[in-house]
Chain A
Amino acid sequence: MGKLRFMQGNEAMTEGAIAAGARFYAGYPITPSTEVAETSAARLPRAGGLYIQMEDELGSMAALIGAVCAGKKAYTATSGPGLSLMSENLGVAVMGEIPCVVIDVQRSGPSTGMATKPAQGDVMQARWGTHGDHSVIALAPSSVQDCFDLMITAFNYAETYRTPVIFLADEIIGHLKERVMLRDPDEIRVVERTGPACAPEKYLPYDHSNGLAPLASYGGKYVFKVNGSMHDEAGRPCTSPRNADRVIRHLSEKIESHAEELTITREFRMDDAEYVVVAYGGTVRAALSAMEKARARGIRAGVLQLVTVWPAAEKEIGSAMLRAKAVIVPELNLGQYIDVIRLRNSRGIPVVGVNRVDGRPIEPADITAKIEEVSESCCRTIC
């Protein structure tokens, strides 16, 4: 049945990570993600796991990666400025194909910005923060229940695709307190690392010719090389043009070719929606409220929630745009994701943003006003 609790998003993320089998946390405290660290410090040793507070975010991300190579499921939590620092070793996790989860409870930026104010300014940092070509998976929770459930999904994605997953939360959800069902182990599906089955001398940690190569753990029966530099199938340095091309394309394609399985979306009153609000994270809550208000005024509004922010939900965004008269994209930034949506705008319908960067959350009224504005303008155009 699970346990019904009243808790903060940040706390529920920790519970979700432990439920997913994570037993290692390395991090550096930063507002507004700190409660993830605090809850982890208290909860992990009770679960036989380990919490370590490293000297900075670079060290945190490194220790996390090391722990994964030694067989643990591991996670960390940070906020925008910390993610900037983690980006260096996030690249190692991408290149070394190390499964792990990085929680980013977004706050205002750039730089140290406003530490306690919500924002969604890391959408592009999550995608392109580390240098070089690669793909990434990012999930955005919109409720405390999401913080628990999606965290398990994040670990499952990480293990399945041997990749870091960004848990792209924001201050609204991280500090929101509401009811959450902490599900029992028999109610959740957890992907466990199986490790290779081949003879030890045959194991090649980066030979993906038969699907993704399983990741062994240091200390088992396999001896292997993990390499954050360009490497061949065995993990040895190899910079031949053919090999480099193979590896870089693989890092992107292993995720992009599974985009349909990876993209989670939620639709609210989309059946007859003429005005579609596309939203993610904490902003979804305002979008839903705005949708109801618009409906009450006779405007057919709907909401498409992007639970998976990266890779982009091509199919769902495309299909919403085929039916809609206009799309409204509320974001707590100046429009980082709106262009991703505009790219799928084959019919040339209006795609407009509702943006706030003043440290305050987007209000339902901000979105309702925009819905009304576009509906009137669309009506005028058609009449």
Chain B
Amino acid sequence: MLQDYLLKEKMPHFWCSGCGNGIVLQSLLRNVDKQKWSRENTVVVTGIGCWGKADDYVRTNTFHGTHGRALAFATGIKLANPGLNVIALMGDGDGITIGGNHLIHAARRNADVTAIMVNNLNYGMTGGQYSGTTPKHAITKTSPYGHVEKGFDVCGVVRAAGAPFVARGTVFDVVQLNRLVELALLHRGFSFVEVISPCPTHFGRSNRMPSAPAMMQWIKDRTVPAAKAQAMSREDLCGKFVTGVFEDREQEDYSTAYQRVIDGLKGEK
């Protein structure tokens, strides 16, 4: 049961009304439940920020570390005990901004970790400053005249870095999100799901979408399925959220490769 994985002692949760984190957490825990992963054998690793608080509400093993380093902690956990199911939860601050270096190397290194990055396009926890995914021209507390930088195409970065499973969904399309999270959990090797999620409190309020429905509508209007995107021009795709699976292939994971080294050395002193 989903309830077995949900820690309710800290409820009500601290996320703002209209935040998408609860939807992503539900999708994750439903899928963990569906796989019947034991709480003993599962570790949820979090970073810092709103989504980094997700471990407060999870009854599996958890590790709450430092800002941006969730994947590095998760790598150590997985490689020390390859039998564990390791899930890293990061926001866009954690995942691609402060933790960008860890993200590209985790993708390249291919330890069997599932990373779920909730992208709400700004730093929610500290009050709505710009992050590495904030779109150009967006207003935030630290870009009051319009952001001059471009945001990352995070899935593009992770894919280029060599991750064997890369996907993007939104909290608007929960059916698709559930499927993407399930595929990611089942994939052996580094798997990455980016989830576009609303932050009406900060991003929305600064960009003329102060309500949850307005932000949901905004996400919906900008969502383009991957198949449809193929026929669209680069210009038309500017500012859009292309969703779907971008990479899904088999590739020997780190632990398997290293174990072959250890086995090859057996008998040698």
Contact = CB atoms under 8 A, between A and B. Distances in A.
Interface of A: 24, 26, 45-46, 48, 50, 52, 54-56, 58-60, 62-72, 74, 88-89, 91-92, 200, 217-229, 235-237
Contact of A62 (B53, B72, B258, B262): B72
Interface stretch (B38-46, B182-190, B204-212): B38-46
Nearest to A55: B105
B12 interface: no
Contacts of A67: 76-77, 79-80
A269 to B, nearest CB: 43
Given A64-B76, A70-B81, A218 B64 contact: no
A66 B74 contact: yes
B265 A63 contact: no
A66 B64 contact: no
Interface in B228-269: 258, 261-262, 265, 268-269
A218 B43 contact: yes
Interface of B: 9-10, 39-41, 43, 45, 53, 55-56, 59-66, 68-69, 72-81, 83-84, 101-102, 105, 258, 261-262, 265, 268-269
A65 B61 contact: no
Contacts of A60: 72
A225 B61 CA distance: 6
A92 B81 contact: no
Contacts of B80: 24, 50, 66-72, 74
Contacts of B43: 69-70, 218
A92 B65 contact: yes
A26 B77 CA distance: 12
16 contacts: A24-B76, A24-B79, A45-B261, A58-B69, A62-B66, A67-B80, A71-B80, A72-B81, A217-B81, A218-B81, A221-B40, A222-B40, A223-B40, A223-B60, A225-B61, A236-B56
Contacts, number: 141
Given A67-B76, A70-B80, 15 more contacts: A45-B262, A58-B72, A62-B66, A62-B76, A66-B45, A66-B77, A66-B80, A67-B79, A69-B43, A69-B76, A224-B61, A226-B62, A227-B64, A236-B9, A237-B56
Given A24-B76, A67-B77, A67-B79, A220 B269 contact: no
User: Which of B39, B75, B76, B79 has the largest count of A CB atoms less than 10 A from its CB?
Assistant: B76
B61 A223 contact: yes
Contacts of A236: 9-10, 56
Contacts of A68: 76, 80
B77 A218 contact: yes
B101 A56 contact: yes
B60 to A, nearest CB: 7
Given A48-B262, A66-B72, A66-B80, A59 B10 contact: no
Contacts of B102: 55, 58-59, 62
Given A45-B261, A225-B64, A219 B39 contact: no
A52 B79 contact: yes
A70 B76 contact: yes
A67 B82 CA distance: 11
Nearest to A46: B265
B84 A219 contact: yes
A65 B76 contact: yes
A12 B171 CA distance: 54
A27 to B, nearest CB: 12
Given A223-B39, A225-B62, A66 B262 contact: no
